[in-house]
Amino acid sequence: MNVYQQDDGKSIPLILGELLSIHLPENCSTGYRWTLEALVPENILLLQRTFIESKMPPVLGAGGMRVWVFKAAGIGKTQINLKRWRPWEGEKSVKERFVLQVEVIREEMEK
């Protein structure tokens, strides 16, 4: 399942073993980066964190997309908390937060 910035604050179901990708815009040249703030409880595993540069326009300093890939590894509810900040400036530099409520279930719910 893919989620994006507009999904901030939402609750989503995941099936045990399903992958979750969170896509958030980031411009590394500003120094502000997305960081995993909290993952409570730990029934979601972080598999990968990557940055995909914007292809349009191909200019120095252009932003891109930070992508986080998680795997639903245990039944239960989880909250994923991310923040966009300059780590060396501390908490006062936080510009934005992203929160996602996740419930890992055993099998797909009936529609």
pLDDT tens string 32-58: 999 998 766 778 999 999 998 877 656
Q: How many domains does the chain have?
A: 1
Q: CATH number, domain at 6?
A: 2.60.40.2020
- Report if residue 110 sits inside a domain: no
Q: How confident is the model at residue 106 (pLDDT cuts 50, 70, 90)?
A: confident
In this structure, is residue 6 part of a structural domain?
yes
Who wins on pLDDT, 22 or 55? 22
Residue 107 burial by CB count (10 A; 0-12/13-18/19+): exposed, middle or buried? Answer: exposed
Cis bond before residue 41 (omega within 30° of 0): yes
63 within some domain: yes
What pLDDT sits at residue 24?
96
Q: What is residue 42's DSSP assignment? A: S
Range of the domain at 13: 2-105
Task: Note whether residue 86 is domain-resident.
Answer: yes
Non-local CB neighbours of 87 within 8 Å, separated by 6+ positions: 33, 35, 93
44 assigned to some structural domain: yes
| pLDDT for position 25 | 94
Q: In this predicted structure, what is the pLDDT of residue 111?
A: 47
DSSP class of residue 91?
Answer: G
Tokens of 85: 């900040």
DSSP labels for 48-75? EEEEEE--SS--TT--EEEEEEEEE-SS
Residue 102 has pLDDT above 60, yes or no: yes
- Residue 16 in any domain: the answer is yes
